[in-house]
């Protein structure tokens, strides 16, 4: 098990970058003690005594364990591109417009 | 002043459906809009009122009646819709700046089904931004106030819907519940709120927060009104693969709690402060009524429920951090000006668009899923969640119904927890386990705090829990408690001049 992390500005900046979220230095300073307290509380899950049989299961399983009544994979009506583009902040009539990114490091 | 709006929903709809009755859907709508104009200024329950749409829907209901057609079981009933559910062509904000200007191209399934049953959508209600909060203070458009005491919160995140129903502006509202967001404001505003079984109601058109937790559900003044709305919106939907056909929610004939196995839960009793505390005393009154009428008493222990908050506040933010990745300034909503790179466009649009609580949860969730920490946090929380679900399944082998408080206390003053996110999270201590387990739970009004030094008496909620698919039982028990005078909607005192 990984060690409990120190929740300081460095970790906040790292996570914010992963989340594609720009933060001001004032926000980083305010968030560090808040997240330290919240993560300190949720830490409890790491030490829970769980019955292995009950805790086991596929990682992403939610309240519906499985369902096998998926609908048939057949084409149906879809929204018109114009209806979707109407909400886009920038488009050229056919495509969404974004800044040039071919040379960008998005990691 | 009482009017058609104050009738039980079935009675109101029956009058609108009856061509010999002069009451029309348009009359009922006019009454609702008049009340909103008179009373909502002091509450801010609505983010927008959709007068044109509502008039068109009400006219269609009246035209159907005039030509001898049946407009449906919710004919002419004004409905408020939480503003994280899509109404085609109307603004959908999630109380966030990041969705500025967004108008969805189609209705949420729950909205479309309610309208198909005759309901009239009068407007969109306030919420904590993206449904993240327990007080409706995390709205980019300002807080909603509690109709029983405007200096206090209405609960959250469906606080606008709860306040609109409690203040008599509409008889019915749609909310969404990811960790208590229907039940908690229902309790704090003194109305009925129901979290359906996961899979009962389609989430198509609900802006996703925690996809394995989110459910859409009804908010109303009484159990039968809530049942009418649930019946209209429930059922499988090709647009949401998690929906399933479950047992009907119709009322059992001649229901009595005799022989029903009704359990208290030690961990929930402790969270409510014990029988001396107002919330605990409300639980005792409801248990006393049910056991006194022949229900079999049980006491259960669900130890993992004491850990439900840490589990929930890893699982829900993890899912939120993923779901909210779609708000990036490219396809809809707010886009930062003058971003030079794609990364900057994403990061700046999100920085400018999201509020503080949403940012906190995105960071918690991203951390819990990040390399080096996902096993210790997210996967561990999911293991605890599976164990919690198993413990509920065991509990419902020997109990039909669990009874707890809905919240540890009544509505708190605006601003009291605004600077303490963890204190706000702990408001959900009695509600999140139902979402983690996927079981239905209903909050009903169960008396008030004693009037005294804190001012006006404040509503208290008691929560009934049942096994998946048993919403019908929850509603039967709630309706039985209402008939016996153990649960009742009490209208707030009308504000001056209303």
Q: Is the pLDDT of residue A66 over 80?
A: no
Q: Which residue has the tokens 């809905």?
A: B406
Please, are residues B183 and B441 in contact by the beta-carbon 8 Å criterion? yes
Q: For B27, phi and psi rounded to 5 degrees?
A: -65, -45
Local confidence band at A35 (pLDDT 50, 70, 90 cut-offs): very high
DSSP letter for each residue of B317-355? HHHHHHHGGG-SSSSSS---TT--SHHHHHHHHHHHHS-
User: Taking Cα atoms as reference points, which of B188, B187, B238, B193 lies closest to residue B216?
Assistant: B193
Catalytic status, residue B341: no
The fraction of chain B above a pLDDT of 90, given in percent, is: 95
- Phi, psi for B247 (deg, rounded to 5): -55, 145
* Mean pLDDT, chain A, whole residue set: 83
Q: Which residues on adjacent β-strands are paired with residue B120?
A: B78
CB B142 within 8 A of CB B129: no
Tokens of B110: 């729950």
Question: Would you say the ipTM is above 0.85?
Answer: yes
Greatest distance between any 2 Cα atoms in chain A: 57
pLDDT greater than 90 at residue B212:
yes
The secondary structure element, H or E, covering residue B13 is: helix B9-17
Q: Element (H or E) spanning B78, and its range?
A: strand B78-82
Catalytic-labelled residue, pool B157, B158, B161, B487 = B157
The residue of chain A nearest to residue B199, with distances taken between CA atoms, is A64
Task: Respond yes or no: is residue B157 known to be catalytic.
Answer: yes
CA distance B436 to A62: 8
| pLDDT at residue B456, rounded to an integer | 81
- Separation between Cα atoms, residue B98 and residue B141, nearest integer Å: 12
pLDDT digits 0-9 by tens, B283-301:
999 999 999 999 999 999 9
- Report residue B408: phi and psi, to 5°: -65, -20
Q: Give the pLDDT band (50/70/90) at residue A58.
A: low
Least confident of B127-136, B193-202, B336-345: B336-345
Helix ranges (H only) for A1-107 are 9-18, 25-42, 52-55, 81-85
What is the four-CA torsion angle of B283, B294, B479, B426, rounded to 10 degrees? 20
CA-based nearest residue to B424, from B143, B162, B6 = B143
Beta-strand runs (E) in B356-473 = 401-405, 441-448, 459-465
Mutation for testing the A interface, residue in B242, B363, B385, B441 having most A CBs under 10 Å? B363
Distance CA B22, CA B10 (A): 17
Single out the catalytic residue among B181, B204, B349, B391: B181
Identify the CA nearest to A46 among candidates B178, B424, B374, B366.
Answer: B374
pLDDT confidence of A67, banded at 50, 70, 90?
low
Q: For residue B158, indicate whether it is catalytic.
A: no
Residue of A nearest to B324 (CA): A19
Q: What is the pLDDT of residue B497?
A: 42
Using an 8 Å Cβ cutoff, are B81 and B173 in contact? yes
Tell me how far the alpha carbon of residue B81 is from its chain's centroid. 10
Candidates A20, A53, A87: best to mutate against B (most CBs of B within 10 A) is A20
User: Where residue A106 falls among pLDDT bands split at 50, 70, 90?
Assistant: low
Asked if A63 and B103 come within 8 Å (Cβ–Cβ), the reply is: no
pLDDT in tens, B462-498: 999 999 999 999 999 999 999 999 999 999 976 544 4
| Structure token digits, residue B458 | 């404040």
On average, the pLDDT of chain B sits at: 96
> If residue B64 lies in a helix (H) or strand (E), which one and from where to where?
helix B51-66
With CB atoms and an 8 Å threshold, state whether B332 touches A44.
Answer: no
Cross-chain residue pair A23–B359, CB shorter than 8 Å: yes
Confidence band for A52, pLDDT divided at 50, 70 and 90 = confident
In the three-class reduction of DSSP (H, G, I as helix; E, B as strand; rest coil), residue B145 is classed as coil
Local structure of B269: helix, strand or coil: helix
Q: What's the rounded Cα separation, in Å, for the pair B71 and B203?
A: 24
Q: Is the pLDDT of residue B455 over 90?
A: no
- A-chain residues near B325 (CB < 8 A): 20
Q: What is the pLDDT of residue A107?
A: 62
Three-class DSSP category at B440 = coil
- Under 8 Å between Cβ of B425 and B313: yes
């Amino acid at each position: 098990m990984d060690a409990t992390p120190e929740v300081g500005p460095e970790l906040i900046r790292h996570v914010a970058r992963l989340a594609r979220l720009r933060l001001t230095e004032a926000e980083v300073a305010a968030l560090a003690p808040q997240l330290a307290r919240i993560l300190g509380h949720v830490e409890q899950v790491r030490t829970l005594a769980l019955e292995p049989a009950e805790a086991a299961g596929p990682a992403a399983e939610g309240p519906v364990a499985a369902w096998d009544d998926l609908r048939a994979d057949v084409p149906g009506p879809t929204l018109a591109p114009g209806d979707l583009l109407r909400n886009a902040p920038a488009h050229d009539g056919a495509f969404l417009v974004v800044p040039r990114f071919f040379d960008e490091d998005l990691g | 002043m009482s009017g058609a709006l104050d009738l039980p929903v079935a009675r109101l709809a029956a009058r609108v459906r009856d061509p010999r009755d002069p009451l029309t859907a348009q009359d009922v709508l006019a009454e609702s809009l008049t009340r909103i104009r008179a009373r909502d200024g002091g509450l801010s329950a609505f983010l927008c009122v959709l007068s044109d749409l509502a008039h068109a829907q009400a006219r269609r209901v009246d035209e159907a009646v005039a030509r001898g057609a049946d407009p449906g079981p919710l004919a002419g009933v004004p409905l408020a819709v939480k503003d994280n559910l899509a109404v085609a062509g109307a603004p959908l904000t999630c109380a966030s700046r990041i969705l500025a200007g967004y108008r969805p191209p189609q209705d949420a399934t729950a909205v479309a089904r309610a309208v198909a049953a005759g309901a009239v959508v009068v407007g969109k209600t306030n919420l904590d931004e993206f449904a993240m909060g327990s007080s409706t203070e995390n709205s980019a458009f300002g807080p909603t106030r509690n109709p029983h005491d405007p200096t206090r919160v209405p609960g959250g995140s469906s606080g606008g819907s709860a306040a609109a129903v409690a203040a008599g502006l509409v008889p019915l509202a749609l909310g969404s519940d990811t960790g208590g967001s229907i039940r908690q404001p229902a309790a704090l505003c003194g109305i009925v709120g129901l979290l359906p079984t996961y899979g009962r109601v389609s989430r198509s058109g609900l802006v996703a927060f925690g996809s394995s937790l989110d459910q859409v559900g009804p908010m109303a003044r009484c159990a039968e009104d809530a049942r009418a709305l649930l019946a209209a919106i429930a059922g499988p939907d090709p647009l949401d693969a998690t929906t399933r056909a479950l047992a009907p929610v119709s009322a059992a004939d001649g229901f009595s709690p005799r022989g029903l196995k009704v359990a208290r839960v030690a961990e929930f009793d402790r969270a409510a402060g014990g029988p001396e505390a107002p919330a605990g005393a409300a639980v005792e009154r409801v248990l006393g009524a049910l056991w006194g009428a022949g229900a079999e008493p049980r006491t259960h222990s669900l130890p993992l429920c004491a850990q439900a908050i840490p589990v929930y506040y890893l699982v829900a933010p993890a899912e939120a951090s993923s779901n909210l990745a779609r708000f990036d300034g490219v396809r809809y909503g707010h886009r930062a000006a003058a971003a030079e790179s794609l990364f900057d466009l994403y990061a700046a649009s999100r920085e400018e668009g999201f509020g503080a609580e949403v940012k906190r949860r995105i960071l918690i969730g991203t951390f819990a899923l990040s390399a080096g920490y996902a096993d210790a946090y997210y996967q561990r929380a999911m293991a605890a969640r599976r164990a919690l679900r198993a413990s509920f399944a065991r509990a419902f082998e020997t109990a039909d119904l669990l009874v707890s408080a809905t919240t540890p206390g009544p509505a708190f003053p605006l601003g009291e927890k605004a600077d303490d996110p963890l204190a706000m999270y702990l408001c959900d201590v009695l509600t999140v386990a139902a979402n983690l387990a996927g079981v239905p739970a209903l909050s009903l009004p169960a008396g008030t705090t004693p009037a005294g030094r804190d001012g006006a008496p404040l509503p208290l909620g008691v929560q009934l829990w049942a096994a998946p698919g048993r919403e019908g039982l929850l509603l039967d028990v709630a309706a039985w408690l209402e008939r016996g005078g153990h649960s009742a909607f009490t209208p707030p005192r009308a504000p001056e001049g209303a």
